[in-house]
Amino acid sequence: MLDNFPRGTICIEDIEIGMSRHIRKIVTDRDIEMFAEVSTDRNPVHLDDSYAQDTIFQGRIAHGMLTAGLISAVIGEQLPGHGTVYLGQSLKFIGPVRPGDMVTARVTVTGIDHSRRRVTLDCACTVDDKTVLTGEAKVLAPSRKFD
């Protein structure tokens, strides 16, 4: 995984509208197989080449939630980072992610409620500059005052 900033914590007191962080990861066959094992989602569109050839995708694709998990990695590791608690997430899956694809997962701060420690983040994943996932996350950010 390639990060654009070190992992750690950005406390609510230091978060600003427009702040953005991202990670890049190549999605491997092993990632897909491990996600299938952990999630118990063994849909053959993810695991079976011959089955997947006959789908609208004309080949295997990664689980959508595996891709969404990269958003979680940015939120939990970079912005806000360690100590962050998810409150909600909306997702729209726009395109497939295939084994071997380099996914860039990015979050950008669009709203801050300092009194409640709430942060709203625009979320997106891209492959080759094409958007494959969009969404919005609401999180409880860590604070120097309480954590």
Could you give the 3-state DSSP secondary structure of residue 124? Answer: strand
- The residue among 121, 145, 123, 132 whose CA lies nearest residue 16 is 121
Q: Is pLDDT at 66 greater than 90 in this prediction?
A: yes
- The residue among 82, 89, 143, 91 whose CA lies nearest residue 113 is 143
Beta bridge mates, 90: 136
pLDDT at res. 124: 98
**Neighbour order of strands in the sheet with 2-3:** 2-3, 20-26, 102-113, 118-127, 130-140, 85-93
Q: Helices 29-39 and 64-77, interaxial angle, to 10°?
A: 90
Q: Is pLDDT at 60 greater than 90 in this prediction?
A: yes
What's the pTM value of the predicted model, to 2 decimals?
0.92
Phi, psi of 27 (to 5 degrees): -80, 120
Return the structure tokens found at 67: 């891709």
SS3 sequence, 13-70?
Answer: HHCCCCCEEEEEEECCHHHHHHHHHHHCCCCHHHHCHHHHHCCCCCCCCCCHHHHHHH
Phi, psi of 108 (to 5 degrees): -135, 130
The pLDDT tens digits for 1-34 are 566 677 889 999 999 999 999 999 999 999 999 9
Q: Which residues contact 33 (CB under 8 A, 6 or more apart)?
A: 47
Q: Is pLDDT at 146 greater than 70 in this prediction?
A: no
